[in-house]
Every structure is written in structure tokens, then in C-alpha cells.
Structure 1
């Protein structure tokens, strides 16, 4: 049996990710001045040539080792594997007129969903005049979009959360969460957690799905007498009749300093590191990654992120070339294959 045959078996993939756990965080893709930059979190230099990103103007999402980019010279989108430089065009799914000039505004959200091989791209946005929220689901297998209408506004600055075949978005009103069932093409809403006597949820919070527990996680920083990071969980699979449970509260003053406690300068949660659950926090002095289990913090970026700041996780080691010899599908599977979603006609791993 050849090496390539051995590593292509599903049993090998299961054992590999069980042994190694979640892939490490290599860095962040960051929008800056109409360009995309890679910010490494390791000591080695960036493994991605900047030239490879010159054709893209905006990064919308990054999951399972693939990046969803907007093309500079057309209305198309590109699903890009940074390690192999493989690209697949996602043609304009027929978005409402003029939306391509507003993709960076807070009425639009894009998420790429894949786990190696076939993938789906979800476009969600709102028409403020009509008060209508719409969703398009593009499949790389059928190469056709499906439109799903709804009625509320969507907050686009935060990434969507994925649990099974469901995607979750924060609505711009901050008092509802939008659930998109990708298999049934159905939209519904439900309430986020309340803080009761401890105050209201701040304008910025982040959602993350936990495939292992079938739960939806929400993190937000709230100023009571001091700044604290709150985390809640809600069981959503196989059903989500259970309520929200507060699972963590972390005081930030002792671990992120200095903190200006004025309301306008509180730290803001801008995302999670997928597969690990670490929280990404931005402050006036930079961007930090908070390791929730240990409550340790590391600074990953100097300055304030005004655009997307997308974590990239992979088992790829900068400076090595061995992965360049492996099959393309194996790259994606190495990076994150726990969210084995939407593989129409493909056996579950």
C-alpha cells in the first residue's frame, strides 16, 4: 500500500484528528486599505505570498482552511485554499441590484461552509427600505443559488456560527438570533440570553458553534462595575428547546491592561477561534486572543481592526513543503473536518 493511499483512508483521518485535536492558529487574514494581509501568530514568516491576494479586495469568511474573497474586477467571489493556492469561482448568485457596492456595510453577511471537497456559500443581507432579509445558498455541486426570504435585519460585522446543518447570525437589533436551516432552506429567530439584573448585552457579541456538544456559544463583554467577558451556551442539536446557560465569566482588568472603563472604550468581542473556542477581543491598544480555559491573553495585532479579522487554523507548518505533495482534499480535511456539513451524496466521515 502506498503512502498516499494510506493517508486517504477515512479511518486515518479520524485517528489523525483524534490524536492531534484542533489545528493550531497560524494567523489572521485582515482587511486593510482595500487590501488583504496575513498577520502571522507564529514566529515564522507568513507562508502565503502577498502576490496571491492581489486579485482580491475583501475577505468575508474563513473556515476549514478556506477563505472566501471578493474579486476586485468582477462581481464574483472566490473560495481560496491558501496552502495549495487552489481557487474556485463562486459566480454572482443574483444578489439584489447595487448590493456589490455595499458588501462592507452592516446589512450584508457572507459565510463559507465546507469540510473538504464540496462546499456551500451563504449570502444573507437586508433591504432597509423594504425591511426584508434575504438569504442565498450557493452549492459548489449544483452551481446554482437558492433564495430564502425573511423579514429582519442582519448584523454582518460578526461571523456566523455553524452547528450541524444550521447557520446562526446576530440580528442588527441585537435582541434576536437568526437561524438558517441549510437543508430545509428555512429561516427562524429566537432570543439571545438576558443578563437580568447585571445589565444589557453590549452591541458587540460573537457566536460560535460547538459540533461536539451540539451547542451554540455566545460571548459578550459587559460593563457592570467592571469589564467582564460573559459566555453562554445553548443546546441546539438535536433540538433547541433548552434555554441559555451562563458557562463563564472572566474579569478582564487583571489580564488585559490598561483598560479604559468608559463606555465608549470598552474591549469588544469580535470573534472566536474556530475549533478551539478562544475569544478574539479588540481594544484601543490592539487585538488580543483570550484562551478561555487558562485565561491567558496574547496580543496578536497592533492597532484597531476596522474590517474583517479572520482566524486561519491549519496543521500546515510554515517552512515545510511536505503538504504540497498530499491530495487536495486531504488539505481541507486536515484543517478541520469535524463540521462535516452539506456534502450532498457523500458519506459522512
Structure 2
């Protein structure tokens, strides 16, 4: 007798297939969580297999890199989520509920990585670690010594899980806050495992230091932020070393909203910037004598790739500008903003997709994740079998 719960009855061949064979079939569905979410509604057997922790580990091992589900953006009201496909659903609903107790009631995005998002209060007195897939939230109080006299600030979140046997959604995470004050640059890390901040590190800045608002790049055991004066702030969180390094020579004229620090495929620090409608990728490589050197890797002609609108300038027809507004380092995907909207571009395949028509997005925060079951048990097995929109 079929185990169907009022939903679609599985094909007979799927009904009689052993669990391990059916799991192999489900494993080969596209990695976007919506596919497994729909499959879990077919019947209780499929739901049991899909929710099994062993199956979820195999899913991460099989697909390796989680898909980009969309991106977050700080809007004048509440933070908003823009999906890369389909309609806004579970994650967008979670984002719309991000209200903070206080005068302004606002949280602002500062980073998004490894399935977690990091938000701040307006005054940086509190941080919020948030898992959009599970809904888990942790409010983190920023110590007074990191607030008094601080000017520019930025922060990062990252997972401590290693390998496919660990899941970032259930593993501890780290937060690093950097800020400037009285001619020095500071950094301090927080561990969710122990619920405490570490030692406050600092280094001298030879000239006034201004941290850019854009999220940092994570390369190995180091985080990198853009700083004015053609500098990059490097924080080796394993060895607790904080230093300032230089950009490539000749890049001073690049406007700061057209440049991003990125992690390239071979786990090296990179710079991505747009100039003359070309997306340039530079890498900081170590030479044979142990010194570091910036080398140009690629130049992608965006004007031949994207449907860029044109405008008349006197008797000339010119292309409208392009900006970088986000980068998904694990997926090697860049988000570009044009007057026609926001485009997601794969640097590996050069395939692109328009993901938003909005023009007012200076910085976006890409979000990637595998399927994570919502709640527990069979609470979602309602008679109407509504699809759990992600």
C-alpha cells in the first residue's frame, strides 16, 4: 500500500526501489534546495530519506559547492532578499522579520558567508549572527573598548567546519571586527563555541586610514579588507597578525565602487575591478624568492557579454557604466550592477543571469546554501502539501 500522504503518488518503480538506490537518485537532483524541498513532499518515505543526516552529508560531498540562492541588500526599511530564481519565500520571510529591539529597530548587513549572515546595529553596539535557512539567531554584544573612539568599522563571519562531514549550519562560527582609532587599526575575533571575544590586536597606520564598506575576502586563514591610500588590511586570524599591504601599482585611479577583493580559484588573494567595460582579475602570487607580486590573470569583456544599454552623448553613442556590487567566493560568481539591473556572472563559464531590475544597489551580499530541512518531524505534511518556498 502506498505511503503517500495526499500528495502526488510516486511512480511504481520509485516505490519498489531500495532506500539506497532511491537516495542515489535524489542525490542527483539539481543542488538548489527547492528541488529537495519539493521532493520531500512526495511521501513520508522520500521525506525521511531527504531529512536523514547521512543523506545531507552525502549531498554536500556530491555537489561540493552550494548554489547561490540569491543576495541580501540593505534597504531603507528592512533588509531584503532577492532570489536568483523563483519567487521570494522562506528566506525572504525570515529577512522581513529581522527587527531589533531599540530606537531604530534596524539591523544592517555587513557580511554573508558559509551559510550565515552577519548584521549590525546602527551604532555597532550589537551584532547579529543569523542562519537564514534554519532561522537560528545569536545576538553578540560588542565590548565597550571596541566602540569608544572607533571611527570606520567593518566585520566578517565565517564557519569553522572542515570537510563534508561537518555542516556550517550546525557548526560554531567566528566573527572578526576591524576598526580604526587614533592612527591605529584594530581587529578582534569572537568565537561562538565559547561565546567570548579574544585579544584586541592593533597596528600603526602611517597615514589616515579609511576602511571601505565592502565585505572582506577570506583566503586561507586570513581576511582582507580594502583601505584607502591603495592599501589592504590583512588579518591572519590563526596567528593573530594584523598588517597593511599595498595594492598593485597604477590602480589608484580605479574608483572604489568598481573594485573588490576576492579569493581566486587556487586559493590566492585577488583583486577584481572594472575598467573600460572590462572585468580585470589580478592575483597576489608568491615568487621564487618568497616575495609577493601582483600579476594580471584575466580580462573579461563585459560589453560583449552583458546586454549593456547605451546612451547618446552628443553625436556619439556610448555604453552606460558597470559596477561590481558583490562576489560569491566559493562559487566564483560576481554580481555586477548596470543601469539595466543586477547581473550574476559565472567567472568559470561566463554564463550570466539578470537577477534584479533595481538600480540602487551599491553593495549586495550573496547567499549560498544546500538544502536544510525546516523544523523537525512531519509538521509540514499538511493536507494541502504546500511547497516550502526558499
Trace 1:20-99 onto structure 2 (pairs within 5 A): 20-48=63-91, 49=93, 50-55=95-100, 56-71=106-121, 75-94=125-144, 95-97=146-148
Trace 1:183-202 onto structure 2 (pairs within 5 A): 183-194=238-249, 200-202=253-255
**Counterparts of 1:17 and 1:235, CA distance in 2:** 30
| Cα deviation, residue 255, structure 1 | 2.5
1:195-249 Cα distance to aligned partner (Å, 9 max, x none): 59xx944423111225x623112100013xxx2110012347xx97342222210
Taking a change above 3 Å as real, the CA distance of residues 206 and 73 of structure 1, as seen in their structure-2 partners, is closer
**Counterparts of 2:323 and 2:125, CA distance in 1:** 32
Q: Is the 8 A contact 1:161 1:168 kept in 2?
A: yes
**Counterparts of 1:240 and 1:120, CA distance in 2:** 30
Structure 2: gaps (5+ residues): 1-47, 101-105, 162-167, 378-390
1:107-141 Cα distance to aligned partner (Å, 9 max, x none): 221111224322211111223xx332221212223
- Match of 1:221? 274
| Cα deviation, residue 19, structure 1 | 1.8
1:153-188 Cα distance to aligned partner (Å, 9 max, x none): 243322111122111111122x12211011222111
1:281 counterpart = 2:327: no
Q: Is the 8 A contact 1:79 1:90 kept in 2?
A: yes
**Counterparts of 1:261 and 1:293, CA distance in 2:** 33
Which of 53, 59, 76 is the equivalent residue of 1:7? 53
| Cα deviation, residue 62, structure 1 | 0.8
Which of 290, 294, 299 is the equivalent residue of 2:349? 294
Taking a change above 3 Å as real, the CA distance of residues 137 and 279 of structure 1, as seen in their structure-2 partners, is same
1:244 is paired with a residue whose SS is strand
Which stretch shifts more, 22-31 or 199-208?
199-208
| Cα deviation, residue 266, structure 1 | 2.8
| Cα deviation, residue 190, structure 1 | 2.2
Which of 140, 144, 147 is the equivalent residue of 2:192? 140
Q: Is the 8 A contact 1:67 1:79 kept in 2?
A: yes
**Counterparts of 2:135 and 2:266, CA distance in 1:** 33
2:304 is paired with a residue whose SS is coil
| Cα deviation, residue 274, structure 1 | 2.6
Taking a change above 3 Å as real, the CA distance of residues 8 and 194 of structure 1, as seen in their structure-2 partners, is farther
1:17 is paired with a residue whose SS is helix
- Match of 2:384? none
**Counterparts of 2:290 and 2:263, CA distance in 1:** 13
**Counterparts of 2:375 and 2:67, CA distance in 1:** 18
- Match of 2:172? 118
2:97 is paired with a residue whose SS is helix
Q: Is the 8 A contact 1:234 1:242 kept in 2?
A: yes
- Match of 2:44? none
**Counterparts of 1:80 and 1:229, CA distance in 2:** 32
Trace 1:150-229 onto structure 2 (pairs within 5 A): 150-152=203-205, 153-173=209-229, 175-194=230-249, 200-203=253-256, 204-210=258-264, 213-223=266-276, 227-229=277-279
1:131 counterpart = 2:219: no
| Cα deviation, residue 296, structure 1 | 2.8
Q: Is the 8 A contact 2:118 2:130 kept in 1?
A: yes
How many pairs are equivalent? 302
Taking a change above 3 Å as real, the CA distance of residues 146 and 307 of structure 1, as seen in their structure-2 partners, is farther
Q: Is the 8 A contact 1:154 1:169 kept in 2?
A: no
Structure 1: gaps (5+ residues): 327-349
**Counterparts of 2:54 and 2:343, CA distance in 1:** 37
Q: Is the 8 A contact 2:231 2:245 kept in 1?
A: yes
Which of 358, 361, 364 is the equivalent residue of 1:303? 358
| Cα deviation, residue 51, structure 1 | 4.2
- TM-score calculated relative to the size of structure 1: 0.75
RMSD: 3.4
**Counterparts of 1:135 and 1:172, CA distance in 2:** 17
